[in-house]
Amino acid sequence: MGNRSGKDKENSFKDSLVGRDIPVLTLDNKWYKLLDEVGRANVKPLEDELNELLKRQGKVNSETKEIKKLKKRLMEEIVSLVDESSGGNSDSEKKIQDNKRLVEDCNRKLDEYEDEIVDLPKQIADVNKKLMLLTMEHCYETMQDNTDDIEELDEWLTGVRIELKKNLIRKQEKEAKNHQIYSYMHDIFGPEVVEVFDLRYNPEEHHPIPKAELEKKKAESEDKK
């Protein structure tokens, strides 16, 4: 990735976000998997701020919907009560006045929420972008650290492979030498060679003498007798 200053990285990250539709990070399960314990601690203030804005947006939208439903019901009641009040029904007139007062309350609350309904998406997008930039910075640093470790481990593994190959050749050479010695001694002592040499590592178990060769040696041994 190359080394870049913090300011260069920040500008590069910002440029990469231009024109992109960024999902709300705290609503994306994949986002939580990107961050380790340190990363989560670094982004916690922005994460909490974003969640509070989302919570507020949900409350405003829900209450706005309920207020509009209430206002509609009140207006319908007013219409239905107008005919009754024209006949001199004082109760209907009082109910109409009460409903009008409640409608005014609904309008006032809707006006209060109107600015929030417009502003909250902008605030959420702004905090979400900041959270994304901080996430990108953490992920960049994590990948840089991982790359350093990968290169170090790769170098170690290369050394181990070379050493392993050398030791494997040495092992094969020593096994072949043991087999050569064992084969020669087998000709002299016969099967008792294992007892004579008190072998901890029996070459015959790892490099067994072919059956035909073993039978030939056995026949030669009997002929000598």
Q: ∠ CA 64-70-71 to the nearest 5 degrees? A: 85
The pLDDT of residue 221 is: 52
The residues, ordered by sequence, that sit 6+ positions from 99 with a Cβ below 8 Å of its Cβ are: 74, 75, 77, 78, 81
- Are 25 and 31 in contact by the 8 Å Cβ rule? The answer is yes
219 band by pLDDT with thresholds 50, 70 and 90 = low
Residue 2 has pLDDT above 70, yes or no: no
Residue 67 has pLDDT above 90, yes or no: yes
**Mean pLDDT lowest among 39-53, 117-131, 193-207:** 193-207
Q: Where are the domains of the chain?
A: 25-155, 167-224
Residue 102 has pLDDT above 70, yes or no: yes
Q: ∠ CA 205-206-209 to the nearest 5 degrees? A: 70
The more confidently predicted of residues 158 and 86 is 158
The pLDDT of residue 82 is: 77
> Which residue matches tokens 């490099």?
207
**Model pTM greater than 0.85?**
no
- What is the distance between the alpha carbons of residues 134 and 8, in angstroms, rounded to a whole number? 14
Q: pLDDT by residue (tens digit) across 80-100?
A: 887 665 555 567 788 888 999
- State whether residue 200 is helix, strand or coil: coil
The pLDDT of 66-73, averaged and rounded, is: 95
